[in-house]
Structure 1
Amino acid sequence: MGLLDNLKTKLNPAKDKVSGLAQQHGDKIQHGIDKAAKVVDEKTKGKYSHKIESGTGKAKGAMDRLAHKDGTGTGGGTDTPPTSPPPAGPPPTS
């Protein structure tokens, strides 16, 4: 058994516990994320609103993945990346 496998085996109970806590307290966690984002946005006078909104969305997405709310189960990093826009080509001719 390699070092990485050994580490995964030892961390699995902690991952399960964090997942359970995220499932139980997901609404409180998301409320806290929103509250923190609002405070930071007020302190920066809206200067970084777009970045704060983006970070808040990413934090909520990570919390949902921890709680397995997206239906992917435990997964192992096998999520497919989001689709990117098609490559730019010549403009269509009419």
Structure 2
Amino acid sequence: MSMLDKLKGMLKGHEEQAKRGVDKGGDMIDQRTGNKYQSQVDMGQKQADDYIDRSRDQGNPPPQ
């Protein structure tokens, strides 16, 4: 089982919690870098949120 499959299994049913974690992580990076990489962090947060939303919409079954 690949790491991506494991991640998908862990996300299932916890999408909102994962999105909050992405936001908190991005905020922490911005704080520690003095917002030096804010645009890149924001882009990464958006991509992570989009991935979480796509996973939820596809209804991926948990890996076996």
Query: Does the alignment reach a TM-score above 0.5?
Result: yes
Aligned pair 1:51/2:25, yes or no? no
Tell me the TM-score normalised to structure 2 length. Answer: 0.72
Q: Distance in 1 between matches of 2:11 and 2:35?
A: 30
Tell me the TM-score normalised to structure 1 length. Answer: 0.51
- Mapping of 1:55-66 within 5 angstroms? 55-66=44-55
**Gap runs ≥5 in structure 1:** 1-9, 75-94
Q: Per chain length, whose mean CA-contact separation is higher, i.e. which structure has more relative contact order (CA < 8 Å, sep 6+)? A: 2
2:56 is aligned, of 56, 60, 67, to 67
**Gap runs ≥5 in structure 2:** 60-64
Runs of at least 4 residues off by over 2 Å: none
Task: Give the CA RMSD over aligned residues.
Answer: 2.3
Higher helix fraction (1 or 2): 2
Secondary structure of the equivalent of 1:67?
helix
Identity, % of aligned positions? 25
Structure showing greater radius of gyration is 1
| Cα displacement (A) at 1:23 | 4.3
